Amino acid sequence: MAARLRGIFLAEGVPPALVWLAEAESTFNPSARSPAGARGLFQLMPATARELGLSTTWPDERTDPEKSARAAAKMLRQLHAKFGDWPLALAAYNAGPGRVQRLLAAKRAKTFAEIASSLPAETRMYVPKVLATLAVRAGVTPEKLAAGT
């Protein structure tokens, strides 16, 4: 499935290796559900999915691999444009961009490492987990990701 989704990420202007985010989020299960209400390959919350143009009623487009991939890629592109850094974009994907922005401002910080201790434990573990998944599955380090691999 990752190969099928890479083209979508590439078309959205996001490094195609980021499709492996779906492994960390859902183990590539389009029907995955979280107790908090996230669904699909990329575990999009209802409000976020609607903001990205997906229907969350019948049919719930978060469970459509192509539509959810396009929405997740769009969101990642927006987060990277806002934060200028993939680890921060991933932290914002998980914890929310408002939380990341507030912590960066409060700590006068510029990197994930500088705010990690103030993020929820889930996010502190999430960013390294995603980066490790990218390294193992696609051979892409954060430096290569920054170059658009």
Active-site residue list = 25
Please tell me what DSSP assigns to residue 3.
H
From CA 148, how far away is CA 41, in angstroms rounded? 22
Which of 34, 85, 41 minimizes the C-alpha distance to 61? Answer: 41
59 CB burial (10 A radius; 0-12, 13-18, 19+): exposed
The answer to whether the beta carbons of residues 138 and 20 sit under 8 Å apart is yes
Contacts of 137 (CB under 8 A, 6+ apart): 2, 17, 20, 23
